Structure 1
């Protein structure tokens, strides 16, 4: 009888821990990230080198689609460059970021590595920060558009 009770307790624990009911599941986050993300701020390595709006060196957006694809578009001096690929959402207890995997090599990929990938960390639910500044690239901050 003790074995049956222990077995039922273990099964109950396994099934009760199987579903994430805290309202912060990856599915909810995936829904929240769909849409346009616009570059709102650039910073350099020099103190007080922050620029915003039309003062930035270029304008840039990411469009995240429900099917796991994205398009990145940059307007620099009236020349529009676009590139696309797929993205992965990483949402663990230690980190929360989006990994962009580009289909083709392109000059607008802002990464410390030459592996067709970019990573952006969430500063808040509607703000992303590029990791490019870790290797002397500009600090780029993006905001979700409504």
Structure 2
């Protein structure tokens, strides 16, 4: 009888513990540096990568929900910051960046200090700016 009670207690403990899947948690996976790796235009076959792109750009996503965006264009570095969150939609999950102030580096179809990026995979996301004649921008998480 004691063995059965001990067995039931062990099974109960095992099933009541929360499993920590930080590797599978999207909120923790997005934290880090994301680099612009590809630009596309509205003209077919207008893809550019690396130093051929018009500018270099990164997002630094912090664990507290803040971000810093940096753009290097012709050796001029412009920075903008704000907060981000992960949003679920019927089309999938996307990142919503809300900027603190107006900036020329906000790539958006709206004039409301907001950018949206859809996840292409767990290590890449893309801008929706190309939906309104902006460039298509693809970012990859740096290791």
Q: Aligning the two structures, in what range does the TM-score lie when normalised by the shorter sequence?
A: 0.7 to 0.9
- Structure 1 length-normalised TM: 0.81
Structure 1 segments unaligned to the other structure (5+ residues): 1-19
Give structure 1 regions of 4+ aligned residues with deviation exceeding 4 angstroms: none
RMSD (Å) for aligned C-alpha atoms: 2.0
SS in 2 for 1:107: coil
CA deviation vs aligned residue, 1:43-86 (integer Å, no higher than 9, x gap): 00001100000000000000000000000000000000000000
Q: How many residues align?
A: 125
Q: Which residue pairs with 2:121 in the alignment?
A: 124
Structure 2 segments unaligned to the other structure (5+ residues): 1-17
Q: Does 2:93 align with 1:96?
A: yes
Q: Which residue pairs with 1:8 in the alignment?
A: none
CA deviation vs aligned residue, 1:12-48 (integer Å, no higher than 9, x gap): xxxxxxxx98x699x8101000000000000000011
Q: Which residue pairs with 2:78 in the alignment?
A: 81
- Structure 2 length-normalised TM: 0.82
